[in-house]
Amino acid sequence: MSTPQLHKLLIVSSDTSLPSWKSLNRKLSQVLEALNQTKNAKWEAEIRYQPLVPTVYNGRIPHAYMDEVTRPYFEAGYQHVVLHFSMKQWEMWGLEGSLRGANHTDRDVVNESYIRADESTKRGRYNQFVQTLLHEVWHGLCKSTDTPDTLHQWHDTKTDITKADWGIFDMDYWHPEFVAKKQELSLWQRVFELTKTLVLLKKKAN
């Protein structure tokens, strides 16, 4: 049996009221209870306040902004970063009203997402902060472990994501740095192929 990998989840909040939520510890316990059901992983969660004013384009936060914010945290040892905004901030900055959160589909080294919720905001019958945070982290884990993502189909019949089967994720297969290297390799392969083509064309011209 392999040694469980430490996975550090960082919640970066722009909401000054979040540290004083009476239910905050319970919410974090629910999040960790779900995440610690993943195989070969031990999870920790931390919250930091950062007064962010996100760049918003067509109701969404673009990749470049997310990367700028999250990459330093990854380099500091956090593999999963979730930006949290209050309901009022979300509306004030013009983020899409139909979204509760979003997980970026870029395949870089950070499992990054952003969500909105106040302490008592509900997603169905359940707390939106817990539900949406786990929902977006789930999408990121599917991408970074090559696990089929059937979460939305699951939601068709069930609602509480803390009861989902988090055991489908084997974190021994979580290697986002490998994905980044693979992208880099692919780029150099394209450069090599282009160079080879140019050399052949030059030979033909001579």
Specify the 3-state DSSP secondary structure of 117: coil
**Are 189 and 144 in a shared domain?**
no
Give dist(CA 201, CA 206) in Å, integer.
9
Same domain, 194 and 153: no
- 30 and 73 fall within a common domain: yes
DSSP result, 58-107: TTB--HHHHHHHHHHHHHTT-SEEEEEE-HHHHHHTT--TT-SEEE----
Domain count of the chain? 2
Same domain, residue pair 147 and 121: yes
Q: Are residues 169 and 180 in the same domain?
A: no
Same domain, 115 and 204: no
Q: Is the pTM of this model over 0.85?
A: no
Provide the CA 26 distance to its chain's centre, in angstroms: 21
Residues 49 and 10 in one domain: yes
Whether 48 and 146 share a structural domain: yes
Same domain (yes/no): 201, 191: yes
pLDDT digit of tens for each residue in the chain (206 aa)?
Answer: 578 889 999 999 999 999 999 999 999 999 999 999 999 999 999 999 999 999 999 999 998 899 899 989 988 999 999 999 999 999 999 999 999 999 877 656 678 999 999 999 998 899 999 999 999 999 999 988 889 999 988 887 888 999 999 999 999 988 765 444 444 444 444 444 455 455 555 555 55
Q: Quick one: 166 and 196 in the same domain?
A: no
Same domain as 135, residue 187: no
Which domain does 91 fall in, by range?
A: 5-173
Q: How far is CA 140 from the centre of its chain?
A: 5
